[in-house]
Amino acid sequence: MDEPPHYTGHRKRLKERFFLQPDLVSDYELLELLLGYGLPRKDTKPLAKELLTRFGSLKGILTAQNHELRSIRGFGRGLEVFWCLWQEFWSRLHEDSLREKRIVDSPYVVAELARTRIGFSSKESFWLALVDNKNRLTHFTRAGQGTVDQTPVFPREVLQIALIHDASGVILVHNHPGGDPSPSSHDIELTKQIKKSASEIGLRILDHVIVAEDRYYSFQAEGMI
């Protein structure tokens, strides 16, 4: 009979060590175990070390773009799907404020909600954080998907989404893949247009938050809205 692969015993011992003392397992070993669920019949230690070398940290790997991950030898389609599941799990974990109907009392609340979903994306996308008449978050939904530097969104689309969800107020949210959250002239003009249209139907536009990795810009905090 063929002998089992050499990594089988190693993975079993690593799992046992992790179960007993998870805090003593190194980052690459933790990643090795996680990759093992996506690649159960392969030795994942070399791939774990390569990913950490390339992206610098577990967070860097989790927020990496799909095309960047695919460029690493051994990171194939099956593992890509598995990784997307983890990214979505991470995003939803940070959206607990929605389920709790948390009151929006600062731009930071929305920035944190948006950062896990779109802060590390390579393309711009436009989202809406919808609130009720007590400024409690009720929905966080996408209004448009764009390119690396622009998202086509029209005021009527924003109003339609808000009306469908019976929102009392809206916080506009989008990302800047370049890393600088400062608003462009287009961002400023679009915000003015949406606010003007919303006021005609009694809908409040509370803020426009732009996120970019670890930074954000708030129109409300900067006196722009």
Residues 178-215: tens digit of each pLDDT: 789 999 999 999 999 999 999 999 999 999 999 988 89
Q: Are residues 168 and 203 in the same domain?
A: yes
**164 in the same domain as 145:** yes
Could you identify the residue written with the tokens 């949210």?
A: 173
- Same domain membership, residue 45 and residue 86: yes
Average pLDDT over residues 126-155: 84
User: Considering only CA atoms, which of 30, 28, 38 is closest in space to residue 82?
Assistant: 38
User: In this structure, are 106 and 186 located in the same domain?
Assistant: yes
| Distance from C-alpha of 140 to C-alpha of 98, rounded to nearest angstrom | 8
User: Residue 147: its pLDDT value, please?
Assistant: 58
Residue 158 belongs to what domain range?
A: 96-218
The pLDDT value recorded for residue 135 is 93
Q: Examine the domain organization and report whether 13 and 84 are in the same domain.
A: yes
Q: What is the mean pLDDT of residues 6-23?
A: 83
Entry pTM: 0.69
In a domain, 59, yes or no: yes
What is the per-residue pLDDT for 90? 79
Domain shared by 173 and 151, yes or no:
yes
At position 101, the amino acid (one-letter code) is K
pLDDT digits (tens, 9 = 90+) for 42-101: 899 999 999 999 999 988 888 787 888 889 988 988 898 888 888 888 777 767 656 667
Among 92, 110, 140, residue at a domain's last position: 92
Q: Is residue 224 part of a domain?
A: no
| Residue 6 scores a pLDDT above 80 | no
- Which has more confidence, 221 or 67? 221
Angle at the Cα of 10 from the Cα atoms of 6 and 13, rounded to 5 degrees: 150
Residues 77 and 100 in one domain: no
Same domain for 111 and 204?
Answer: yes
Rg from Cα positions in the chain: 21
21, 61, 71, 122, 209 from 144: Cα distances, Å: 45, 26, 28, 14, 15
In a domain, 211, yes or no: yes
User: Is the separation of the CB atoms in 174 and 125 below 8 Å?
Assistant: yes
Q: Are residues 88 and 171 in the same domain?
A: no
Which of 36, 64, 92 terminates a domain? The answer is 92
Strands (DSSP E) contained in 24-168 are 125-131, 137-145
On whether both 39 and 136 belong to a single domain, the answer is no
Average pLDDT value over all residues in the chain? 87
Q: Give the three-state DSSP class for 121.
A: coil
Number of compact structural domains in the chain:
2
Residues 101 and 21 reside in one and the same domain: no
* Mean pLDDT of the 118-127 span: 85
**Amino acid identity, position 85:** L
